Amino acid sequence: MTKEPPNWVVLKECAEELTHRGLTPFTRQQLITAVQSRFPDRSESSLNPMIQGMTINLKGGAPGGIGKEVFRSVGRGVFELRPQSARPHGAPDVSTTAREPARKQYSVVPSAPTPTNDLRPLILVSCVKSKRNQPAIAEDLYTSAWFVKAKRFAKAHGEQWFILSAKYGLVEPECVLEPYELTLNELRIAERREWAERVMQALRPRLVPGRHVILLAGSRYREFLMQHIEQHGCHVEAPLASIAGLGPQQN
């Protein structure tokens, strides 16, 4: 019977695979999911301490066979693979590539079609100006009180929600973004039309007649999106004024 590799080996291999695919930095959950896709019996409770123990700028964690030279934390729950992680004498070389990985700043929302009977509420929340100063998963990148309230509403009332980013378009809450300085208020009307078309390319497969779409966004984010969404037979609502404690979009 072939002996299964220890957690530290699998974590490093999966981190290298994510990096090779351009998913860098990656979230803790993305790394754990990658491990569990290969070894479903590896629990989060066993992997989390090992990730901590393999991260050079985090204290504590479970000791492994490679030390704390593998990962670097670049944000809350966000990591990157160090270019030249140390390898103890006698440990197997699990490196899959020697070249410096290309950094991918964001993950494009996959365009997998939505089942035709999927009428679950879909909530779209606009980005805001106030952000963290380091990479983070999208739902944690934006820091204004308004966004925090909008996110809380989206999680409580929507089966599915996305962020409308002025720079990246339609963004999954769990994808990693670099901080940026851009709002639709700074764009010309032609550029805002182009942005709306880009969002619709990713959103269109998820729109089916009768689906309820809630837009938690200011007028610049809604102006061209609403008509496009309604043309797909969806019921569109922009209830900022009617949601207690939320009100108009604020940065």
Nearest to 29 by CA among 21, 18, 20: 18
Neighbour count for residue 189 (Cβ, 10 Å):
10
Unique residue bearing structure tokens 């990713």: 202
Greatest mean pLDDT range, 28-32, 71-75, 78-82, 127-131: 127-131
Cα→Cα distances 114→117, 159, 226, 242, Å: 8, 13, 19, 29
Per-residue pLDDT tens digits for 2-54: 678 899 999 999 999 888 877 778 888 889 888 988 888 999 888 988 999 89
In the chain, what are the domain boundaries?
7-81, 122-242
168 vs 106, more confident: 168
Q: Cis omega before residue 25 (within 30°)?
A: yes
Query: What integer pLDDT is reported at residue 95 of this predicted model?
Result: 39
Q: How many CB atoms lie within 10 A of CB 126?
A: 22
Structure tokens at 93: 């070389």
Q: What is the mean pLDDT of residues 204-210?
A: 89
Six token digits for residue 220 = 């610049």
Contact 186, 195 (CB under 8 A): no
Question: Is the pLDDT higher at 83 or at 128?
Answer: 128
